[in-house]
Amino acid sequence: MSWDKIPTDLSNLRVTQDNTDSGTGRLVSYRDAIRDALRLALKKDGDVFLFGEGIDDPTGVFGTTTGLQKEFGKQRVFDTPICENALTGIGIGASLAGLKPVLIHMRTDFMIISMDQLINHAAKWKYMFGGKKPVSLVVRAIIGGGWGSAAQHSQPIQALFAHVPGLKVVMPATAYDAKGLLLASIFSQSPVIFIEHRWLYDHKDQVPAGPYFIPLGKGIVRKEGKDITLIADSFMVALAMEASKELSREGIGAEVIDLRTIKPIDKELILNSVKKTKRAMVLDFGYEFCGISSEIAAFVNEKLFGCLKAPVVRVGLPDIPTPASPILEKLYYPNKDGIITAIKGVLHG
């Protein structure tokens, strides 16, 4: 899809949903796909600008902003003081003035300070003013543990944002999706929380060189199966795929759904799959208590209780703060073997 065909409403956009869409044979990493999307948006639209903490550092926010300030100048790509609430307010004000800001928070933890701006302003303006003043703000934030990030620098709090009417929450699991979803988010005329898992930055797949858009709210079946549906987001998609492939050697067919966005959720895709398999497991890289997995389990039970062969099972994080110790982290975070054990429990329990 070319820039000349950017739709005004991306919510109902239909595009090819696999990695062959106008493929060029380019094997691109998740981080480079994000930088590519930002570069294309900055080049196409002079109203797009990028700001946040660490943008002009040598590492460029895990490599996702490297070289952009040099190419587009300090007025459109710039570092900021550590003042998250004020930065978010600036982004909202710039959007209301007609610009398309992309704000980067190095951690979702830092966004807690911005909750007033996000919940009471970004999410509400469109509704308070009859749709005449949409907030076209994208907030990029990073989750994921490792190297002792601990309780204040690795909180996967996507469910907090998904709980708020008016906010959209995107969690891409592949490089292809990261580029297409980020471009769609920037031009969606909605406040979007765009969450990236740091363990995905080195993952590579086929990514077209030109612009393309993936609609917000549309999931995808990554792998078909007949015995159980695995509903996953972000890094959990990679774990679900590994578990599914291993189980296939034992004759177990696990269907894997990549949610892509958790607000809105593609309920139709989920229900159609679970109707077929009669069993479901939800894998969310967030806390199980009051989390995304709870919401999905609830509506699956409400809609399909009569045809389920087993209760819907959830896999996520325990209700405790993230430990700093690498040894404790291995116990804290879900892994492939634990997922396989849980799947077998659903099938044979």
> Which residues have a catalytic role annotated?
153
| Helix (H/G/I), strand (E/B), else coil: 223 | strand
Omega of the bond leading into 264 within 30 degrees of 0 (cis):
yes
| Helix (H/G/I), strand (E/B), else coil: 226 | coil
**CB neighbours (10 Å) of residue 342?**
19
Residue 262: in which H helix or E strand, if any? strand 261-263
Distance between CA atoms of residues 330 and 85, nearest Å:
33
Distance between CA atoms of residues 347 and 327, nearest Å:
30
Identify the DSSP state of 199. G
Structure tokens at 93: 């004000």
Angle at which helices 267-277 and 292-304 pack, to 10 degrees? 60
Query: How many Cα atoms are found within 13 Å in the side-chain-facing hemisphere of 324?
Result: 4
Bridge-based pairing of strands 192-197 and 228-232 is unpaired
Distance between CA atoms of residues 119 and 163, nearest Å:
10
Structure tokens at 137: 């703000």
The distance from CA 321 to its chain's CA centroid, rounded to whole angstroms, is 21
DSSP string of 130-155, one letter each residue: TTSS----EEEEEE---TT--TTS--
**CB neighbours (10 Å) of residue 241?**
19
Q: Are 280 and 250 in contact (CB under 8 A)?
A: no
